[in-house]
């Protein structure tokens, strides 16, 4: 492996890790607060990508400047989070918080199945491609290796801003502290007047927006096709479990490990690239059963 | 209520004569049902595996490899090889995952199945990749059967295996090991206080569940005549959990009833509503969870206890 391929693998890894992190962040947030592993998260990611391609394609076809694609990505993500994520929490999840873990998982699995068909009905099965945003930012050259600004600078920056932003939000703002308090002890939080229902709704919508944003940001770099949601969800599950459940910093580190492992595998031994994330997960959990940043749970007798 | 089950099994046995076009559908349902019992076993210990299609697929692929290497193999050999392979894989994975509970248990199983899935997809020189491997028809007790006769043989074999293994699993739950195993769900720490290793108890159940999936996988592979990586995909594993909950989480009989109903809904939904069958299935699942969390066994139990105020 010469220096140029090394750099290429490194850049691939960084941009991929940034995307995976953004999606896994939403999943981590939802799991951390609500203790629900949301299988439908992958569908929200896919629909975020589809919605972006449609909206951006539609607006740019009217002659708007390509730069407009960026605010439109955010708009699509918020639309997905509010219009799809909101109702999922309000009409479905709310009814099953006191039920067993398996049932909660299966509700989100049912939503996943429903959304897969909705997505097929709305967008069909043909692949979409819309790379205006990627081209709008141009390329950058690092040590003779040319790479897109979008993937090398924008994606990692967004990931870092979201990481720091979410940390700040949860630890420094009142709403964030209300969320953390509800996570720690729902009953105690309610007894001091926190509206837990609203906290859960807000958290879920926020997580869904992050899934949609992941899809929106992924859309210029890949062709959008059915099955992309299913692929992403198992990958972000791997990130969340390896990180230690609900650990934001852990998710960042794991996403980076998985992104790097995968992109180097593509250059060295392409057959095992798909396998790498799960190998990393198994190896990490073998050494640290609670995940990278997790702590052993207290046991009740 | 036990006479009801006898009637049910008798009805199943009549299917090839009364409604021959349902024969294949029921065959698939029985094969899947065995795997669902495997998932049900773990649900009894309060653990959900999101990767049990792994054992279903390992057994199916072992069957395919044996057939490809030794043409005209005896069916019994394939059945035993597949089941043994799945059980052995269950031992390897089990030794590792029994240390974990809850979400970690489920996700680790998922990871192992995804590893196997990507090997099947990527090493296509050996596995045929996404196209999979086509199976020739094995001999049965030295006889070369025609397609119809072979399918009929598989159908009745499936019924026999379902009755035998279903009965065995119910007995196992009632046995001392099975009782210990179920305590993992309710109070694991007390098990430890008694000087018993919950890990070992969980491993024994894990082996049973892998073996059940193995038998189901072989039946599925020989009935379908082709194995593909799809057998191991995580959505297949999720489907097994889905069916287990549909039938009534923790119930062996419910697993088979769930599998039959699932296969019917799936087949007819995809025949009459090709574009939205997944949506219908998802909606069906939501209705069951929200309005009948005890699953179909819960509904049956409620229907029977209404008159006599019996509790089950």
Determine which helix (DSSP H) or strand (DSSP E) holds B226, and give its type and residue range.
Answer: strand B226-227
Q: Over 80: is that where the pLDDT of A202 sits?
A: yes
Residues in B closer than 8 angstroms to A245, CB to CB, are 103
Instruction: Say if the Cβ atoms of B99 and A289 lie within 8 Å.
Output: yes
Q: Which token pair is A228?
A: 């992309």
Residue B132, CA atoms < 13 Å, CB-side half-sphere: 20
Instruction: Say if the Cβ atoms of B293 and A99 lie within 8 Å.
Output: yes
- Contact indicator for B252, A87 with CB cutoff of 8 Å: no
Instruction: Say if the Cβ atoms of A103 and B282 lie within 8 Å.
Output: no
Instruction: Say if the Cβ atoms of B104 and A289 lie within 8 Å.
Output: yes
If we measure between CA atoms, which residue out of B151, B149, B166 comes closest to residue B28? Answer: B151
- Contact indicator for B111, B232 with CB cutoff of 8 Å: no
Task: Render pLDDT for A207-239 as a digit per residue (tens, 0 to 9).
Answer: 999 999 999 999 988 888 888 888 888 888 889
**pLDDT value, residue B172:** 94
Check residue A300 and report its DSSP letter: P
Q: How far is A231 from chain B (nearest CA, A)?
A: 10
Q: How far is A65 from chain B (nearest CA, A)?
A: 37
If we measure between CA atoms, which residue out of B20, B31, B53 comes closest to residue B256? Answer: B31
DSSP of A34-80:
H----TTHHHHHHHHHHHHHHHHHHHHHTT--GGGHHHHHHHHHHHH
Determine which helix (DSSP H) or strand (DSSP E) holds B134, and give its type and residue range.
Answer: strand B133-134
Backbone angles phi, psi at B195, to 5 degrees: 80, 20
Residue of B nearest to A120 (CA): B275
Which of A37, A106, A229, A233 to substitute to test the interface with B, most B CBs within 10 Å?
A: A106
**pLDDT value, residue B217:** 96
Across chain A, what does the average pLDDT equal? 87
Task: Render pLDDT for A98-115 as a digit per residue (tens, 0 to 9).
Answer: 887 778 888 998 999 899
Instruction: Say if the Cβ atoms of A113 and B281 lie within 8 Å.
Output: yes
Distances (CA, A) of A294 to A161, B47, B69, B82, B128: 23, 20, 47, 38, 40
More confident residue, A139 or A49: A49
If we measure between CA atoms, which residue out of B49, B59, B55 comes closest to residue B110? Answer: B49
Which of helix, strand or coil describes residue A146? strand
B42 class by beta-carbon count within 10 Å (0-12 exposed, 13-18 middle, 19+ buried): buried
Task: Render pLDDT for A18-57 as a digit per residue (tens, 0 to 9).
Answer: 999 999 999 999 988 888 889 899 999 999 999 999 998 8
ipTM of model over 0.90: no
Residues in A closer than 8 angstroms to B108, CB to CB, are 241, 281-282, 285
Residue of A nearest to B95 (CA): A286
- Contact indicator for B43, B250 with CB cutoff of 8 Å: yes
Alpha carbons A250 and A239: distance in angstroms, whole number: 9
Alpha carbons B160 and B154: distance in angstroms, whole number: 10
Which of A30, A34, A109 to substitute to test the interface with B, most B CBs within 10 Å?
A: A109
Which residues, given as ranges, of chain B have pLDDT below 70?
1, 249, 306-312
Task: Render pLDDT for A148-164 as a digit per residue (tens, 0 to 9).
Answer: 888 888 999 999 999 99
Residues in B closer than 8 angstroms to A286, CB to CB, are 96
Query: What does the longest C-alpha to C-alpha distance in chain A come to?
Result: 66
Angle, vertex CA B175, rays to CA B170 and CA B180, nearest 5: 110
Query: What does the longest C-alpha to C-alpha distance in chain B come to?
Result: 62
- Beta strands, E only, chain A: 139-142, 145-148
Which of A111, A114, A301 to substitute to test the interface with B, most B CBs within 10 Å?
A: A114
Q: Over 90: is that where the pLDDT of A255 sits?
A: yes
Angle, vertex CA A207, rays to CA A204 and CA A210, nearest 5: 150
- Contact indicator for A50, A119 with CB cutoff of 8 Å: yes
**pLDDT value, residue B311:** 42
Which residue is associated with the tokens 């206890």? B305
**What's the CA dihedral at B221, B222, B224, B226 to 10 degrees?**
60
Q: Over 60: is that where the pLDDT of A117 sits?
A: yes
Instruction: Say if the Cβ atoms of A113 and B275 lie within 8 Å.
Output: no
- Contact indicator for A213, A74 with CB cutoff of 8 Å: yes
pTM (2 decimals)? 0.86
Closest residue to B278, CB basis, from A116, A278, A300: A116
Residues in B closer than 8 angstroms to A241, CB to CB, are 103-104, 107-108, 111
Residue of B nearest to A231 (CA): B234
Q: Which token pair is A261?
A: 């492992």
Residues in A closer than 8 angstroms to B190, CB to CB, are 301
Distances (CA, A) of A78 to A81, A92, A214, A215: 5, 20, 11, 12
**pLDDT value, residue B306:** 60
Distances (CA, A) of B35 to A28, A76, A244, B87, B230: 31, 41, 30, 13, 15
Q: Which token pair is B72?
A: 């005209």
**pLDDT value, residue A300:** 41
Q: Over 60: is that where the pLDDT of A297 sits?
A: no
Task: Render pLDDT for A167-179 as a digit per residue (tens, 0 to 9).
Answer: 899 889 988 888 8
**pLDDT value, residue B1:** 56
Q: Over 90: is that where the pLDDT of A256 sits?
A: yes
Backbone angles phi, psi at B286, to 5 degrees: -60, -45
If we measure between CA atoms, which residue out of B208, B207, B202 comes closest to residue B182? Answer: B202
Residues 6 or more apart whose CB falls under 8 angstroms from that of A172 comprise none
Residues 6 or more apart whose CB falls under 8 angstroms from that of B296 comprise B246, B247, B248, B254, B257, B258, B261, B288
- Contact indicator for B240, B39 with CB cutoff of 8 Å: yes
Check residue A299 and report its DSSP letter: P
């Amino acid at each position: 492996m010469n220096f140029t391929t090394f750099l290429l693998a490194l850049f691939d890894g960084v941009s991929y890790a940034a995307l995976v992190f953004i999606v896994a962040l939403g999943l981590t947030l939802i799991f951390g607060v609500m203790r629900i592993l949301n299988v439908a998260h992958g569908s929200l990611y896919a629909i975020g990508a589809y919605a972006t391609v449609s909206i951006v394609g539609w607006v740019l076809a009217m002659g708007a400047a390509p730069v407009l694609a960026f605010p439109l990505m955010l708009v699509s993500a918020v639309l997905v989070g509010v219009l799809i994520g909101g109702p999922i929490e309000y009409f479905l999840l709310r009814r099953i918080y006191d039920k067993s873990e398996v049932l909660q998982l299966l509700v989100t699995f049912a939503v996943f199945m429903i959304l897969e068909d909705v997505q097929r009905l709305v967008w069909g099965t043909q692949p979409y491609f819309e790379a205006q945003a990627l081209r709008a930012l141009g390329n950058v050259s690092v040590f003779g290796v040319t790479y897109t600004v979008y993937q090398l600078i924008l994606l990692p920056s967004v990931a870092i801003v979201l990481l720091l932003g979410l940390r700040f939000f949860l630890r420094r703002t009142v709403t964030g502290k209300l969320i953390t308090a509800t996570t720690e002890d729902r009953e105690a939080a309610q007894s001091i007047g926190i509206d837990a229902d609203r906290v859960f709704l807000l958290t879920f919508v926020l997580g869904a927006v992050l899934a949609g944003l992941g899809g929106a940001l992924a859309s210029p770099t890949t062709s959008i096709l059915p099955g992309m949601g299913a692929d992403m969800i198992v990958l972000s599950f791997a990130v969340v479990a390896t990180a230690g459940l609900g650990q934001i910093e852990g998710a960042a580190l794991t996403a980076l490990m998985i992104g790097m492992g995968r992109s180097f595998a593509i250059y060295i031994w392409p057959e095992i690239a798909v396998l790498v994330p799960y190998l990393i997960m198994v190896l990490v959990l073998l050494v640290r059963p609670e995940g990278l940043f997790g702590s052993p749970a207290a046991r009740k007798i | 209520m036990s006479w009801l089950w006898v009637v049910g099994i008798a009805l199943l046995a009549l299917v090839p004569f009364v409604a021959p076009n349902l024969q294949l559908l029921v065959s698939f349902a029985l094969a899947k049902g065995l795997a669902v019992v495997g998932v049900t076993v773990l649900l009894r210990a309060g653990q959900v595996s999101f990767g049990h299609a792994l054992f279903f697929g390992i057994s199916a692929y072992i069957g395919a490899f044996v057939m490809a290497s030794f043409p005209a193999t005896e069916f019994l050999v394939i059945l035993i090889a597949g089941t043994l392979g799945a059980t052995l894989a269950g031992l390897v994975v089990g030794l590792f995952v029994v240390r974990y509970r809850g979400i970690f248990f489920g996700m680790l199983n998922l990871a192992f199945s995804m590893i196997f899935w990507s090997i099947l997809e990527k090493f296509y020189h050996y596995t045929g990749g996404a196209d999979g491997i086509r199976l020739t028809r094995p001999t049965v007790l030295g006889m070369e059967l025609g397609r119809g006769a072979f399918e009929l043989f598989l159908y009745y074999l499936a019924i026999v295996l379902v009755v035998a293994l279903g009965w065995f699993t119910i007995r196992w739950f009632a046995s001392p090991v099975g009782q210990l195993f179920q305590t993992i769900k309710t109070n694991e720490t007390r098990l430890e206080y008694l000087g018993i290793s919950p890990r070992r108890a969980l491993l024994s159940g894990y082996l049973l569940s892998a073996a059940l999936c193995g038998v189901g996988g072989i039946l599925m592979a020989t009935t379908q005549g082709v194995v593909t990586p799809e057998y191991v995909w995580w959505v297949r594993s999720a489907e097994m959990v889905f069916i287990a909950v549909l039938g009534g989480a923790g119930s062996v009989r419910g697993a088979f009833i769930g599998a039959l109903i699932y296969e019917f809904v799936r087949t007819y939904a995809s025949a009459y509503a090709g574009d939205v069958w997944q949506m219908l299935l998802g909606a069906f699942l939501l209705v069951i969870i929200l309005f009948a969390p005890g699953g179909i066994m819960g509904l049956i139990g409620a229907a029977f206890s209404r008159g006599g105020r019996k509790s089950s």
